[in-house]
Chains A and B, each alone.
Chain A
Amino acid sequence: MAHFVLTDATVIINSVTLSDHAKAVTVEDTSDQVDLTAFGATNKTYGKGLGDGKFTIEFFQDFAAGEVHATLQPLISSTTPVTVEVRATSAARSATNPGIVMSALMFNYNPLSGSIGDASTFSAEFQNAAQGGITYPTS
């Protein structure tokens, strides 16, 4: 895949496709940076600590049945992780369009914010909730 403009990303939360109500996605696949520098060292050395993952997705709010609020609101009180997947395009998973998948809990849900005249948008944050972290399946 060459350079591309993100116009057709896929957003699937708990097996529910909400791509047509999403407008921005940020995936953070990180590891802690642990300082392992001991006495006598002349340079700092670092090791990798615990991994973590976070998806931040910006949505256009929709309170209709079966839409955004109805899908996401139950997840804020749920303690059971759900699968969240995003892809660069709406095409099926492949080597050039991998799934970016995480078993996650939703810790932040701000269903309504904005000023007069604005589109009603909000961000939902999903944090890693399983030892697998973020995976990148191609099929």
Chain B
Amino acid sequence: MTNTYKALTEIGEHYYGTGELDLSVTAEKDALDAGHLEIVPREYKVLSHRYEAGKQGEVVKLALRMETESALIQGGHIERVDKPAAKAAEKKETK
């Protein structure tokens, strides 16, 4: 799964830019740990009563690293909330 990132340094801007990027886990770790990028928080729906960041059914904004997000989605604790506008745009393109 891709994440949306914001470049924080000139190096980050040069090598990665800002926006939706398909980075490997290692590339994401390197860029975040070095402070070149930050994850732009996205909305997730909390599915599980066990998840601490929000109540079940609530929509929360989180900045999760790829593997952390993947573990929580696989575990059935959260799911991505796609914006209705984005869905509409996708439908238009497919027509």
The answer to whether A and B belong to the same complex is yes
Give the interface of A toward B (CB within 8 A): 12, 14-18, 65-66, 70-71, 73-75, 78-80, 82
Q: Is the beta-carbon distance between A66 and B70 smaller than 8 angstroms?
A: no
Instruction: Determine, out of B3-11, B49-57, B87-95, the stretch whose residues face the partner at the interface.
Output: B49-57
B70 — which chain A residues lie within 8 A by C-beta?
A: 74, 78
How many Cβ-Cβ contacts under 8 Å join chain A to chain B?
A: 55
Q: Is the beta-carbon distance between B67 and A79 smaller than 8 angstroms?
A: yes
B76 — which chain A residues lie within 8 A by C-beta?
A: 65-66, 70
Partner of A80, one of B52, B67, B74, B75: B67
Q: Is the beta-carbon distance between A17 and B74 smaller than 8 angstroms?
A: no
Residue contacts A-B, CB under 8 angstroms, 19 given: A12-B52, A15-B51, A15-B52, A16-B72, A16-B75, A17-B51, A17-B52, A66-B48, A66-B50, A66-B75, A70-B75, A71-B75, A71-B77, A74-B70, A74-B74, A79-B67, A80-B66, A80-B67, A82-B71
Within 8 A of A (CB), among B68-82: 68, 70-72, 74-77
Q: Is the beta-carbon distance between A14 and B53 smaller than 8 angstroms?
A: no
| Assembled-state Cα–Cα distance A78/B29 (Å) | 12
Give the interface of B toward A (CB within 8 A): 25-26, 29, 47-48, 50-53, 65-68, 70-72, 74-77
Q: Which residue of B lies closest to A82 (CB)?
A: B68
**Minimal beta-carbon separation of B88 from chain A (angstroms):** 31
Q: Is the beta-carbon distance between B72 and A78 smaller than 8 angstroms?
A: no
| Assembled-state Cα–Cα distance A17/B26 (Å) | 28
A17 — which chain B residues lie within 8 A by C-beta?
A: 50-52
Partner of B25, one of A16, A70, A79: A79
Q: Which residue of B lies closest to A77 (CB)?
A: B67
**Minimal beta-carbon separation of B32 from chain A (angstroms):** 10
Which of B67, B70, B71, B74 is the most central at the interface, judged by chain A CB atoms within 10 Å of its CB? Answer: B71
A74 — which chain B residues lie within 8 A by C-beta?
A: 70-71, 74-75
B51 — which chain A residues lie within 8 A by C-beta?
A: 15-17
